[in-house]
Chain A
Amino acid sequence: MTDLVPVLAAVVPTLPLVGMLLALLARTPRQANVVAVAMAVPTAAAGLLLAVISLARGGQPALRGQWYLIDGASGVLLAVIAVVGLCSVLVSPAYLRTSGRRWTTAARSRSLYYGALFLFWAALLAVPIAGNLAAAWLIVEATTAASALLVAFSGRRDALEAGWKYLLLTTLGLSVAFLGIIVLAIGQANAGHHNLHALDWRALQAAAHAMPAQPTLIAFVLLLAGLATKIGWAPVHNWLPDAHSEAPPPISALLSAALLPSVMLIAWRVKEILQPSVGASTTRAVFIAFGLTSMIVAVPFLWRSLPWKRLLAYSSVEHMGIIGLGIGFGTPLAIAGVVLHVVGHALAKALGFYATLPLLRIQPKAASHAPNAVAAQSPATATAMGVSLVALAGLPPSPLFLSELLILLGGLAAGYLLVSAIAVIALALGFLGLLHALVEGVVGDDRGHRRRRSREERPTIALTAILGTGMLACGLAGVLLLPGSGFVDSLARGAL
């Protein structure tokens, strides 16, 4: 099967680019929908096939080509991006049917929406397999342009504000990260490595031991500080709540479930590669500091009565903090937790954002206010929101309960007692905040709202069943397969 890898590595990002071109050529909204679904299925299938091939190799060394690098972490991210991308395309017609005012004229808006979505998806699929730091940066920068347009797709003033803020802040952040890349390139050039491949992950790994400590430390700090902006780590997360809450729900799902962990993967690789020069204690401290700060900063917002999507956005800040903390701990237990957390968070968060579509139909005011007694009006929507909230809060049998437990145990195993204790308190407070949202917003009092017909609720029921089952399966697989596996051990050793 590994013979297929070079072909698949080229096909996976190319298929959505073809989808983009075909969507832009569509003449009617119906044509655009058909093209989008027709291209989304093979794109997701190719992405999943590559993910399966990579994951089936367990703890074996990464697959490398001239332009790609596919390791276990690539496999996890590819699977997540393929599934969430497919779901986002499939729910998009429902969003576009009811989305009122848009950036452009109605006739072109659907083509442009799918065009930007497929471009964004192509870039996302390319990030985990990029074999070169600078190439990965270029691809992440390209996601900004496509996704900023999608964030502001509704054309409302708040969406324009969110899109502009997202474009400006993440571009500035990525500029700082690029400064770090140039500093690394200077170091490589001084060592006699001039061409593009001097910034390959493999070349950097080979050169790391001989890199001068001070410029490499500067490069590491600049890279992490810049990437933190795009990951949504506090205190440079300001764009995230606005962009995630104003973007169309299918795009919010991609931003939260796929974009943030993809950029996190680059940060993780930078840590593993520069660690021999910068020092393990420094690289770990930077990840732990960002992780813990994000978890603490998110808590007050999780306690407030926020609009549904804004609540989910702050939950993303919290969960990126948890993942950062796990990478910072770096023990096999913590890394097993990180892998499980990335998958579980993606499914739970995507379900939460997709539930916005039926929610806004039954409670249009939920766009700017906290939802109220959803269960009384639509049990299916309330179930979707409830499953998402319970999973994100980390209540058993959510895979996030297990992943958080693994990360904390990993922290204790690494000797980070105080950090683990603070993280437990932050997690407990975040849990209470989300539980409050569940009780008040989803369950709540029945105030004589009209119940929706069960037929209208079928898509929501199907999506909840699929993603809910996926979460349970992921939790089960996490318990049975991850801790102590060669796959996790190789990731913890920084396999690239």
Chain B
Amino acid sequence: MTITCLAALGLSALLTAQAAPAASARGAGQRKARNGEVSRVAFEQLSKAADRARDENDNEDAIRLYRRALSLRPAWQEGLWYLGILEYEKERFLDARDVLRRFVTYDPSAGPGWAVLGMSEFKTREYSRAFDHLRRAMALGLGGRKEMAQSVFYFVAALLTRFEQYDESMNMLLAMVKSGQKTDLLVEPLGLAALRMPLLPAETPPDRHEMIRMAGQGALAVEAGRQGEAERLFSGIVAAYPNEPGGHFLYGVFLLDLRPADGIREIKRELEISPFHVAARLRLVEEYLKEERFDEGLMLAEEAVKLEPKDGPAHMMLGEVLIAKGDLAGGIRELETSEKQAPQTVRTRWDLLRAYTTTGRKDDAQREKGEIERLNAPTGEQEP
């Protein structure tokens, strides 16, 4: 993205006053003082020249001058910031990254600094770091920079899919749709998340490009309440790609709300293609709970836990089935396991609150209530 506009917005809010010259008590001799004065004058000349070159869009010259000024005053935050974004705009992402790492050392609360750093790291394919730093930018806020916020959200959502956090990615992408963002760019990431393919849009296999687009467009249609269009797209996927993993699950989940029996049939078909699909099992368990088919639900929930013993949602669903079958102690045990593995999941805490209340464990119930309130409190994280 272009961030000249960001720079033009002014950094007064972002940057505090220029860093004071590094304090140094040593060597207070006259010669040193004279050298210091020469250096100060040189820095001021260079920094002004750099700013002027940037204002005149002579960016290569500006980069050179910022670098020289920073060699005299390495902690000059404004210089680090402008140098970082100029390098980013020149698509020299390694250089941008290194400069911005220094910048955030001096100003760790600068959301935009973390944002451009994270985007640089995305470009250099340091995805884990990029993810951490972009999330940090979201938490700190971007000072109303809408274009930057959209980019940050896009990158984070794409990375969530690559890190196999598909539901979180979908939620984020749909929140972006709701906020009024143009959907063209979101179709592919939505499709990848919906089909549970841990790839970035740039990594999409050409022979499944159409399938991924159809899945993304279908997700957008569902979000807009255009059920007919969504069904046409999802049924089109399973017709065109009948043996490809992901399609039947997506269609099945969609159908569960419309025609549950058809939805169950599609998800079962997915399990024939993808026999180790944990999410498909859990979605079926949820439906069976609704239909009070507890034995079928229990079997699938136990399989899910066996396949992924460290999966919080699998333990949560097993806990819910056990409680539904009247095994309160077993259910609580599974829910507590789930809570340990995924402490941020509010649904598990509601389940536990109810179970503790039923069994008269008032203190435990109270603790869960407090946790639910805490988790539901606004985070202050930037909106898309």
- Decide if A and B are genuine partners: no
Which residues on A are within 8 Å of B, measured CB to CB?
Answer: none
Which residues on B are within 8 Å of A, measured CB to CB?
Answer: none
